[in-house]
Amino acid sequence: MSQLSQIDTPTPYKIDPDGDIILHTPDYLFIDAAKGAVPGNYARFLVSSRHLALASPYFKAMLRDCWAEGSTLLERGSAEIPVKECKPDTLLIVLNLIHGRHRRVPQKLSLQQLTDIAVATDFFQCHEAVEIAASNWKAALQPSEIEMSHLTEDTIKWIMIASVFDFRDTLKKVTQIASKKEQVL
């Protein structure tokens, strides 16, 4: 590796200092330090393949030796994997939950952040690792009856969140709103 590429490649944020995988989000800008609890601008994360495989069937399959990522991990003892499907701030939260770093997880999220977490959770199939935090975030964001009286973009976000995390009461409310034929976005 040349000196230039070493300078251009930022040090990964260490979720697991003894990790053997670097996940990175090449299609997104770095996390803005002013917006989160990450000291610096990071879009690369040092994590544990064991934690990933235990929490996520997606990563478990990817890290088998029949796939390039798994072969690289087996041969070199480490691997670097792009994660194009997730924003860095969303990935950071999900990875902290997967690794049991609950003190590093925000106690409250915006509706859009919770929607992004739901999408990532569903994609990575790591529902069990995220569900308790999601329940807490939902409780802090619970939509009011007024907000839930007509179809909006937020209603659609709640459908996604409730479907992914199996929030049955919320799903029932929001699907009833969405099913009213006279409503338009």
| Crossing angle between the packed helical segments 127-141 and 88-98, to the nearest 10 degrees | 120
Cα 42 from Cα 31, distance rounded (Å): 5
- pLDDT of residue 43 exceeding 90, the answer is no
Cα 71 from Cα 123, distance rounded (Å): 22
Q: Which helix (H) or strand (E) holds 176?
A: helix 168-178
Q: What does the pLDDT average to over 22-32?
A: 67
pLDDT tens, 95-146? 999 999 999 999 999 999 999 999 999 999 999 999 999 999 999 987 655 4
Q: What is the DSSP string of 50-107?
A: HHHHHH-HHHHHHTSTTSHHHHHHHHHS-EEEE-TTS-HHHHHHHHHHHTT-GGGS-S
Instruction: Give the CA distances from residue 162 to residues 13, 25, 113, 125, 146, in Å, rounded to whole numbers and listed in that order.
Output: 31, 26, 14, 15, 18
Q: What is the pLDDT of residue 85?
A: 78
Q: What is the pLDDT of residue 44?
A: 86
Length of the chain counted residue by residue: 185
Q: What does the pLDDT average to over 60-76?
A: 89
Query: 181 is written with which tokens?
Result: 């034929």
* pLDDT confidence band for 42 (50 / 70 / 90): low
Q: What is the pLDDT of residue 149?
A: 65
Q: What is the pLDDT of residue 46?
A: 95
- pLDDT of residue 34 exceeding 60, the answer is no
* Burial (Cβ within 10 Å: 0-12, 13-18, ≥19) of residue 115: buried
Query: 143 is written with which tokens?
Result: 């939509």
Q: What is the pLDDT of residue 119?
A: 97
Query: 22 is written with which tokens?
Result: 């670097």
Q: Which domains does the chain have, with CATH numbers?
A: 3-141 (3.30.710.10)
Q: What is the pLDDT of residue 61?
A: 93
Instruction: List the single range of 24-33, 93-102, 115-124, 164-173 with lowest mean pLDDT.
Output: 24-33
Q: What does the pLDDT average to over 45-71?
A: 93
Cα 35 from Cα 50, distance rounded (Å): 29
Task: Give the residue with greater pLDDT, 100 vs 27.
Answer: 100
**CB neighbourhood size of 8 (10 A):** 8
